[in-house]
């Protein structure tokens, strides 16, 4: 297949769903985690759960970059934004993420100069245009977006832009997946691996999952047939007694990753000893910071930060959703106190958040499943 429409063909989807059902062993329950929030949105938007047999259960993982940012880091960024002569720049999906003292939008309404950008290079352009202001880029994301941050810092260094810095919150997918595997809360049969991250790091870093934990992983694309094909491939491995890493998204993902992107990250950034993830706690060597050579561009060294830990609201269950322990609709405030207009947790804010995806696309699917579960009982009534 060559075109997007082909990856959304309903007839092919139904045929593939039939082959998936044939590979399910009677009485066996299969639980697969889609690591990436982009996959979660595709699943809900296109109703893929309705195409899957009841034996296959898809749960959400920690692959939403905005969702895993702890509240204390948001408060640190707002603290920077409130400093004199500072322009804070950020991707749009960070603007409404709640911290302990409000969000970027709240701080902007109170007078802080916080601007939405589409790229770190946009922040660099603002720094050039405002030499008397200190411009900070709120860098978030997995290995997908870290190379663009690294290349921007290299550009700033080459141009000698002393008024530009980065508040680095880039996280890494492999330590998070390992934390999930080591958690006693969840039993998984396999993983639908992230496509965007893998375009940078490749497939080789996942090999330990199959080798050490005995779990198959299929790197998947983001169209409906990509995900259904990946589920079919996972079931095929389990049926044949295999356990390996496969690349369904080979049209985009090279097995060994993008060497240029990895090289830029290696030059500009270093591993942190540990980093706090919302819902997962502190995970060793799971995030990136600016390397010492580029300390002048490190907002954590340019500014004095409070660095306080802030606990999530007690009613928020984003942590359980990010670990795949809960479905979004099982959270006690989902769709009532917590909506995209009034989010309590990050999973309801981000365009890749599982709660936002389910709220926008999947809540009716839950009603259909509930109705289907009632039908046999009601049919037996006089």
Instruction: Tell which residue, 148, 183, 145, 169, has the closest CA to residue 61.
Output: 183
* Structure confidence by residue, pLDDT tens digits, 82-96: 999 999 999 998 999
pLDDT attached to residue 6: 86
Q: What is the mean pLDDT of residues 220-245?
A: 97
pLDDT confidence bin for 362, thresholds 50/70/90? low
pLDDT attached to residue 366: 52
Pairing of strands 217-219, 190-193: parallel
pLDDT attached to residue 367: 53
Q: What is the mean pLDDT of residues 354-370?
A: 69
Please determine, for residue 187, whether its predicted confidence score (pLDDT) is greater than 60: yes
* Structure confidence by residue, pLDDT tens digits, 110-168: 999 999 999 999 999 999 999 999 999 999 999 999 999 999 999 999 999 999 999 99
pLDDT attached to residue 363: 53
- If one compares 132 and 326, the residue with the highest pLDDT of the two is 132
pLDDT confidence bin for 4, thresholds 50/70/90? confident
pTM of the model: 0.89
Helices then strands, counting H and E runs in the chain, come out as 15, 13
To the nearest whole number, what is the mean pLDDT of the chain? 91
Please determine, for residue 108, whether its predicted confidence score (pLDDT) is greater than 90: yes
3-state secondary structure (DSSP) of residue 22: helix
Please determine, for residue 324, whether its predicted confidence score (pLDDT) is greater than 70: yes
Question: Cα dihedral sign for 322, 327, 332, 335?
Answer: positive
Please determine, for residue 17, whether its predicted confidence score (pLDDT) is greater than 60: yes
pLDDT attached to residue 185: 74
- Rounded to whole angstroms, how far apart are CA atoms 19 and 228? 10
Sequential DSSP letters for 86-125: EEEEE-GGGTT--BTTB-HHHHHHTT--EEE-SSHHHHHH
> Which structural domains are found in the chain, ordered by start?
1-312 (3.40.50.11740), 317-370 (no CATH)
Please determine, for residue 375, whether its predicted confidence score (pLDDT) is greater than 60: no
Q: Are 324 and 61 in contact (CB under 8 A)?
A: yes
- If one compares 273 and 351, the residue with the highest pLDDT of the two is 273
3-state secondary structure (DSSP) of residue 141: strand
């Amino acid at each position: 297949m060559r075109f997007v429409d082909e990856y959304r063909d309903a007839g092919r989807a139904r045929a593939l769903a039939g082959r998936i059902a044939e590979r399910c062993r009677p009485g066996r329950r299969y639980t697969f985690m889609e690591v990436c929030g982009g996959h979660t949105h595709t699943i809900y938007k296109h109703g893929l759960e309705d195409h899957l047999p009841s034996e296959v259960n898809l749960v959400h993982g920690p692959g939403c970059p905005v969702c895993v940012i702890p509240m204390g880091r948001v408060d640190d960024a707002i603290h920077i934004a409130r400093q004199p002569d500072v322009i804070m720049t950020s991707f749009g999906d960070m603007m409404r993420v709640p911290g302990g003292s409000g969000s970027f939008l709240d701080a902007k309404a109170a007078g802080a100069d916080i601007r939405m950008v589409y790229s770190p290079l946009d922040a660099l352009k603002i720094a050039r245009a405002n030499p008397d202001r200190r411009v900070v880029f709120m860098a978030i994301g997995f290995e997908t977006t870290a190379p663009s941050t690294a290349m921007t810092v290299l550009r700033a260094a080459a141009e000698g832009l002393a008024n530009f810095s980065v508040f680095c919150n880039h996280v890494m997918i492999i330590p998070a997946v390992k934390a999930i595997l080591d958690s006693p809360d969840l039993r998984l049969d396999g993983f639908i691996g992230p496509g965007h991250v893998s375009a940078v790091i490749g497939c080789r870093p996942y090999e330990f999952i199959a080798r050490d934990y005995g779990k198959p992983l299929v790197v998947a694309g983001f169209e409906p047939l990509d995900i259904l094909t990946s589920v079919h491939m996972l079931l095929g491995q389990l049926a044949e007694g295999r356990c390996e890493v496969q690349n369904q998204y080979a049209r985009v993902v090279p097995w060994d990753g993008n060497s240029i992107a990895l090289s830029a990250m290696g030059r500009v950034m270093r591993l942190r000893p540990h980093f706090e993830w919302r819902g997962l706690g502190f995970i060793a060597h799971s995030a990136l910071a600016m390397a010492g050579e580029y300390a002048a561009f490190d907002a954590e060294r340019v500014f004095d930060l409070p660095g306080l830990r802030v606990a999530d609201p007690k009613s928020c269950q984003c942590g359980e959703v990010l670990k795949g322990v809960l479905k979004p609709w099982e959270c006690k405030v989902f769709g009532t106190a917590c909506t995209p207009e009034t989010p309590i947790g990050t999973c309801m804010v981000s365009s890749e958040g599982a709660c936002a995806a389910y709220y926008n696309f999947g809540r009716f699917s839950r009603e259909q499943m509930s109705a289907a579960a009632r039908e046999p009982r009601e049919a037996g009534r006089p």
